[in-house]
Chains A and B, each alone.
Chain A
Amino acid sequence: MRVTLTVNGSQRTADDVWEGESLLFVLRERLALPGSKNACEQGECGSCTVLLDDVPVCACLVAAGQAAHRRVVTVEGLAPRGELGPVQQAFLEAGAVQCGFCTPGLIVQVHDLLRRTAGAGLPPPGDADIREALAGNLCRCTGYEKILDAVRLAASRLPVMP
């Protein structure tokens, strides 16, 4: 089947998509966007997190057909003109990146968390909220402390988020 969707602001089309294919597969294998990672393929690690119509989802659990005619934003879309988004900048400065394999999913997840909280004029999320919001994004390297630092740093620099 043919799947047409908007990815990072541009309309994209993938042909010959098999019905069982995941959105993650289409992004990585067909649309040359390997930023979203594949680390479990069954919704357990969060490495593949993308925004689907502004809602964070595990792209490995979304059938490609379900994403047809919808808007997808991946980590690549958060720094479109080579300029880092606020979450990316905070991850970089806080040292929240080690091997980097969990990073794209976390960046998207944190982007969503901050847009819903500090970015929406609400108080920044507390540590417990952050830990809960990121509990589905596994990181085997950092022990999460620097990731928390990064979220706090990004939150402190808001409010304006797209």
Chain B
Amino acid sequence: MNRVEARDKVTGRARYAYEYPAHGVAYAYPVQAPVASGVVRSVDASAALAMPGVLAVLSCTDPPEIGSGDDPELAILQTTQVVYRGQLVAAVVASTLENARAAGRAVRVDCVARQHDVRLRADHPGLYTPEKVNPNFPAVTEYGDIAAGLAAAAARVDTTYTTPVEHNNPIEPHAALAVWDPGGGLTVFDSTQGPSADRDTIAKVLGLAPDRVRVVSPHVGGGFGSKGTTRPHAILAAIAARAAGRPVKVALTRQQMFELTGYRTPTIQRLQLGADARGRLTAVVHDVVEQTAIRTEFAEQAAVCTRAMYASPAMRTTHRLARLNVPPPSWMRAPGECPGMYALESAMDELAEAAGIDPVEFRIMNEPRTEPDSGLPFSSRNLVGCLREGARRFGWADRDPRPGIRREGRWLAGTGVAASTYPARRRPSRATAEASGDGFIVRIAAADIGTGARTALTRIAAETLGAPAARVRVEMGDSALPQASLAGGSMGTASWGSAVVKACEALLKNGSSGSADTAEDVRADAAFARHAFGAQFAEVLVDSATGEVRVPRLLGVFAAGRIVDETLARSQFIGGMTMGLGMALMERTGVDEWEGAFTGKDLAQYHVATCADIQDVDAVWIEEDDPHLNPVGAKGIGEIGITGTAAAIGNAVYHATGRRVRDLPITPARLLR
């Protein structure tokens, strides 16, 4: 089955948020704080207001009215206190985008700068332990005797890994069109991963009843977490439209996205692992240092993955945060697992080598019977199967473990392995199904941000109804449809699919229509540790003269429950792995400590993997029949692909060169140092 909306996308007909027409539309352009810490003394809009087409200038010195200031990021223009560079301090509304932009540059913001601090460091004096880490885990866990475990170990590692600021950079920049109707209702065409939640948030910030707000987002050009929460541009569009008395569009530029749409926190991760003479772990310690913002706390759960991975008689995981003058970090594909698995799986490779054990076998030896931290049984766990299948396909058996000995001309060759994991969760959602003519219409306020959700739900509905997919139409991407959870946490198919199956089953009972709400079902889900697992194998070539790293082969084997659609799944896995390759070798946003600024804020300097950076990336899977998940039997596939990739590549680079680069990305400069 082809992707349902592919025809609209290949012909350019699919409409994204910014592209909806609106009569009399005006454009708002954000003006951002020029300092990382300070106070706005004045905003001089006189020059801007005299420019062609300018309708209004909004400013933090004259705060527009809002309903709730609970979320400081969304309570835009409410304070003159600046806590990060790029904070929204004013905006110009004008008749055209170009006029708005030109006038935006003419707004003079006078700031008193204060001392700022944007440098994350392991000994930052302000480090604190948050109450919880995302979404709701204890920040610290500990069991067993760590000291004894490490002391008794025959092989040990104590290493620190760092990951930089990384930006989601979906190809569609965030955009919104806000249209007020004469009765005071608001429609927002928004680039969002969750129309229902976006509607609720926008309503709350503006002080409206949720039923007065509608969010429309049938097509979204990728998000990877950055469109998972309401962003300031949507609020700005609504407030500007109110001020101008016209519909208003806001389209963030690529540069503005770097401060206004979230990013992955940098991490400093110390791993202490010990193994006995037989290769069994004796202790695991994963201590994480991350950053958060002054007004908003975001506590990335980087060490939580370690709690589920390997059997050990003693384990400690901790998270500490430093509040810096930085934009709030946020969700980026596999938040937590992605940086955490990089560090854990790099350390596992180092320990395997120290213990003189093959890294595939080493992981298999430390396979737990139950989830190490919670003691819960796994609903299903096939990490060992993935490792063995991957090793077989990749040709791992003949690997000579010695590093730095395979030379082909200038090129040094090596291979590496790492495990992947991502939790399998679901959230309550509602859906309806209706017989209509000779087909069916399924309605759910889900979002297709490129994952293929529309297609997967069409398949799921068709299977449940026993009808050909061509006779099923799924309506989604609109908050006016039955409330649904957002496209995030790899929960879409499981959450929405559960509701769709249930609604379709209800329809089958009465023949004409059915509706479903899975809130009760989700609450009643039995206590299991539910995770998808995988194993990734990388082959690299490192140019010994220039330090360039090529990746001729990348193989992922995943066990993620039932795979609903093979084409969609392969593309999701491979897309994740490719982003993981980018993380390993090129993705990094610079931080200028003097200016308190992100640097390199465009795609010329923030490198994502291009077609020519990739050679042979393949993803396969082991089918799992897991009865403890949800009616669809799916675990979610959107994020696991990026977990472990950077470690597999880093481990391969070590195998090729004998050099451990413990700071991402692994650039030529770092390899040649």
Contacts and interface: CB of A to CB of B under 8 A. Distances in A.
Contacts of A54: none
Given A39-B254, A95-B568, A146-B571, A29 B97 contact: yes
A99 B8 CA distance: 11
B98 A100 contact: no
Contacts of B608: 138, 140
B450 A79 contact: no
A79 B9 CA distance: 12
Contacts of A18: 98
Contacts of B253: 41
Interface in A93-152: 93, 95, 97-104, 107, 130-132, 134-148
Given A139-B171, A143-B575, A101 B12 contact: no
Interface in A78-92: 78-79, 84, 88, 91-92
A45 B10 contact: no
What secondary structure prevails in chain A residues at the interface with B?
Answer: loop
B157 interface: no
What secondary structure prevails in chain B residues at the interface with A?
Answer: loop
Contact of B610 (A40, A92, A135): A135
Given A25-B98, A92-B2, A144-B611, A98 B451 contact: yes
A75 B12 contact: yes
B387 to A, nearest CB: 22
Contacts of A103: 9-10
Contact of B3 (A35, A88, A95, A104): A95
Most buried by B among A32, A33, A137, A140: A140
Contacts of B576: 143
Contacts of B18: 34
A100 B219 contact: yes
A146 B578 contact: no
A130 B159 CA distance: 41
A53 interface: no
A138 to B, nearest CB: 6
A139 B172 CA distance: 10
A107 B618 CA distance: 23
Contact of A147 (B96, B222, B452, B611): B611
B571 A141 contact: yes
Contacts of A135: 610-612
Given A92-B3, A141-B571, A143-B614, A100 B450 contact: yes
Interface in B75-93: none
Interface of A: 18, 20-21, 25, 28-29, 32-42, 44-45, 47, 74-76, 78-79, 84, 88, 91-93, 95, 97-104, 107, 130-132, 134-148
10 contacts: A38-B173, A44-B603, A99-B449, A100-B5, A100-B450, A101-B170, A103-B10, A137-B611, A139-B171, A145-B617
